Structures are given as C-alpha cells and as structure tokens.
Structure 1
C-alpha cells in the first residue's frame, strides 16, 4: 500500500469517511485552481483530485498540479479521462477501468497506454473500478457507457464485485460531474454491503444532506467538484459538506467499528460489521 492510499485509509479509519475535492484543469487557470484547493484544505477536505471528463493534459495539467501542491500540503490525485491526463508532479493516480463502457479503450486501452508513464514517473497507482450510473453526464457520453439504471442496484453490485475480484481496491460510483441527481442512496448502500473494498461516491452531490445520506449508506469517500466551483464562498460551502460527511461517518463509526484488542489500527472494512 502506497503513502496516499494509506493516508486515505487512515482518515476513513479515524473519521469514518473522507472527502475529496475535484478540480477540472480546463475550467479555470492554475492560479484559481490553487485558490480552490487552498480554500478546500482550510475547510477540511482530505485530498484534491485533478482531472475531468475531457482529455486535458500537457502543460495546463502540469501547471495546475504544481500550483495546487504549492498552495496546499494535501495529496494530489489524478482523475484522468485518458492517458493524456497523467502528470509526473502528482502524488497518485486513480488508475481506473470504466467497466460498463462499450468501448474497450476506456476499459483497458487508455490503461495500457498510460501504465508505462505511471511507472516511469513513479506515481502511486490506486486501482479503481469506475462505474457510471444514470444520468452519467459528460463522463457517460465520452466514455460510451451503458449507464447503470438507478433502479438496478443489483447491476451495480455485479460490476462492483467483478472489480473487487479483479483486484481493484476502490469502487467508484459516478453519476456524472454536475449531474442533476446523485447516485441513489439505496444503490450506494447495496454496493457497500456486497463489497469489502473502499467505496467512492461522486457526481451531483451539492448539499450537506446529500453528502451525509451517502456516507450513512456506506460511502467511504465522497467527491464534490461542481458545487465548489460555483459557490460564492467556496470555503464555507466545502466546510458545510465536509462537516456533514464527518458527522455521518462518526455515526457509522460508533455503530459498526470494532477496535481490535491488540490495539492495532481500525480496519475500514470492520466498520460495517456489527
């Protein structure tokens, strides 16, 4: 386990949940991205994801990552749409396979093209099974996804288990950036009960209540992005969401965490076992 993954696991073990702030390098200058990250850090976010549904890369991506790292000590995790979304300056990368894509490029194509760069740059790879849920947004369109229907949690479970059995240590349920509806609470809960790995939920989460509900359903990590970009007071808005996530995570912690008698660190998966 690498440094960033261990850090996330420790946050989840301590707080019951973690929050990540997503910044799309194409939507603002590197300087503005750095300010967003700084505000998010002061509000309590646990890390910064950099990427989006388009194939932004090159100097813009590098400059954005460097600006964020200069502004905050939070880990910067790449969230690439393609092999172009790799920067040697990042701390880690969500090395994702979009399992419900119709296009092999998004399942293994971009991955085999990008893998040598990840190794060359010594970027910590976090293996992720990436699942697009209705409405899917730009990520669903660009990724040519067979979107998981909102009323089909059993399909999400099947994909999530497939990802786990393939060795992926993170499952990411994504409704799409700026989606009008986030991943259903019932789906997040059903997937949580079925898997033993870290569950990430993102897309369309705009309010503290929506974030809290997904954590109570079992999300280990909640991702927000668009809501912060559009907020008049980014720090306050992020702070409200982070507070809700940590509060909900604490509820799960009290109900489901077992502390090993030997005093070793709490395992994140134990919080779901009564």
Structure 2
C-alpha cells in the first residue's frame, strides 16, 4: 500500500476532457484514440510540455476508469456536496480515487444532487508527484518496539519469518495468551448456513429468523453486505438502521438501543466486528 502525493489540475481544458469522456460514454459511444481528440490537444496546448507525457497517461486512465467509476461505491454528503468512500465503519470524505471520483461528481451533478458550481470545484484531472510505500518507511526507523498482531501462526506463512527478521530486523518475539479465553463457538453448517433459491426466499428466511429471536426475548442484529442490500429488506424504513452514513455523533445511541430486548436493528457488515458494541456499564 502506498501514500500517493499529487494534485488536481482544475482548468477549463481539463474539465472539458473529463466531461467529454463522461458524456460520450453516457451516450453509449466508445471513446477511442483519446490522445488524438481535439479536446485532449486543447489540454496539451494549455499546459507546459513537461506535463504532456503524464497527461497522456491521465487521458488513458480516464477512459479506463469511466467503465467502473461506481466501484467502490461513492457516497455523497448532500449537505456539503462532498463525495467519500467507506473506510472501515465510517465514510472518509478525504478519500478519493485518482481520475475516477471525478465521474461520481459529474453523475450527481447530472442527477441534480449537487449544483454545477459545486461539481466544478472537483472536475479536473489528477496528476501524481510521487508515491511513498508504507512497507518501506519502517526500514528507516532506529527502533521498532511493541508491534501488535504478530501471531505465532503468521510465521508459518512462507517467507514472512525472513521478512520480519531480515528486512525489518526484528530480534525478539514474545507471545501472550488471548485475553478472550477459550473459544466456545460451535459451528454447525447445517444449522448456521442456509442457501436459498432466490432473493424473495432469502428475505423471507431473515424475517422468520427475526420473529423467532424476538419471541425468545432477544435483541436482534441483522447484518447486510452493504446499504443497497439492506434496503432490499421489506419495511427497512421502519427499523433502526446503522450504516457508514450514520452520523458518528448518533451511533452510540443506536448501539445502546440495539441491545434492548426484542429490538431489531439492521446494520451493514462494517459493524459486524463488534467494536462499536462495547458496553462498559
């Protein structure tokens, strides 16, 4: 994984190139020979020659990225007009994808979700200045102490022991017993896994499981792959929902309520790790 340094070139000619790729694709026309198009040559004419090679790569990246600009899912904050992406159990509005997120802004502009003026702030081309490897940075540290997550089982991965000892110069390994004690989960595939023939049966089975648990007086948490899947659940609007879009300031209230007997809460899988459900009282 790298940290990529760069800047966004926002200019009339850069915006024209991005809009050309977006509108041609939306009209069902394949964009070919982008570097020979007039709109790209106009961009070259307005920029220093030192940038021309990089801009050719950018133009090709735009044509490639337009095919799947919605993956991963861009999430719009309608109040600020900014687009972010899911980052663990939150939405990071400082995260973007080079020469890809720009199409999300154009799409929301087209749908009327943001104003043309707000979209224009983000419509341009992204240029890299350099990449910094997180894996290489520790090699310059004078000392590394107290690394977590170095499980004994991981050393069985081919090559990992050599990397830790030689490349990062670890000298000592200390292993502590788990604070969670012995694992008590008994996994029974026939009981705990169900494969249904279609989506309707799948949703019906979930409803049935919810009813069974409510009759037993249990709090019910239902996890879905993402918000799109969650919204398929019948009557989802009537339930408490907890997704990456939920305001972090309101999450503790939802979490506390979710533990109430017979309460049903629908969540996205980012919350399935359980770290949000620490109940000190």
TM-score using structure 2 length: 0.23
Q: Which structure would you say has the larger Rg?
A: 2
Higher share of residues assigned helix:
1
